[in-house]
Amino acid sequence: MTSAFHLAVNIPASFWDYYIMVVIGCNESWVTVKNIAMLSSKAIALRIWALLVDSMGAKRSLSISMAAVSPIPLLYYNATSVFELMGVSIFSSVAWAPWDVATALYVYYLVPEDRRPAFTSLRNVSSNIAATLGSAMGSWIGAHLGIYYVFLASTILRSTTAMLAYKMTPELRYSSEYRLLER
């Protein structure tokens, strides 16, 4: 399911900075400012979400994150100023944090220790292939239908994948010391 989500997420990959510079009319320095704001807020959000995931559970946290990041492409598209884009970007960082924490927990608890390096490598390869395909799809959609449909397609596929993941993802049962109780 993570690869399908990576495909959906990366449909607008080639358009984020293009949108800032061409559509909104900012220069490259705003891309840097946006990235600094995103990374700073992500660092803080990861610490907070690490605590929240423990109390909410990995499945619920993963579902919240996937649902929260689903509308981001359309929010980004409808932003009309650099400050609105910064707000969407910071929201995106905070919304992605539970995904990062929860997916790490799933790997840690569902994959036997001796298989984690191989599993992680395979997951990274499949996610990168999906991301590449998503970006190619987005480029095709943008060239043939327009940028709005790039952001719309990503939002729709993110939402669809989030709903499927909620139904298919098992809940992890672990104690507060992060020892798996049962699968």
User: Which pLDDT tens digit goes with each residue over 133-151?
Assistant: 999 999 999 999 999 999 9
User: Which pLDDT tens digit goes with each residue over 77-130?
Assistant: 999 888 898 999 999 999 999 999 999 888 888 889 999 999 999 999 999 999
83: tokens are 């400050």
133: tokens are 């395909």
Share of the chain above pLDDT 90, in %: 70
Q: What is the pLDDT of residue 4?
A: 93
Gyration radius from the chain CA atoms: 17
- Average pLDDT for 148-173: 94
Q: What is the pLDDT of residue 171?
A: 86
Q: Is residue 122 exposed (0-12), middle (13-18) or buried (19+ Cβ within 10 Å)? A: exposed
Q: What is the pLDDT of residue 2?
A: 87
User: Which pLDDT tens digit goes with each residue over 27-42?
Assistant: 889 889 989 999 999 9
- Average pLDDT for 46-50: 92
Q: What is the pLDDT of residue 26?
A: 87
In the predicted structure, residue 176 carries a pLDDT above the cut 70: no
Q: What is the pLDDT of residue 133?
A: 97
Query: With bands split at pLDDT 50, 70 and 90, how would you rate the model's confidence at 175?
Result: low
- Choose among 169, 125, 138, 161: nearest CA to 4: 161
33 with 19: CB under 8 angstroms? no
Q: Is residue 92 exposed (0-12), middle (13-18) or buried (19+ Cβ within 10 Å)? A: buried
Q: What pTM did the predictor assign?
A: 0.87
27's enclosing H/E stretch is: none
Q: Is residue 51 exposed (0-12), middle (13-18) or buried (19+ Cβ within 10 Å)? A: exposed
- Choose among 157, 145, 167, 175: nearest CA to 72: 157
Alpha carbon distance 24, 168 (integer Å): 39
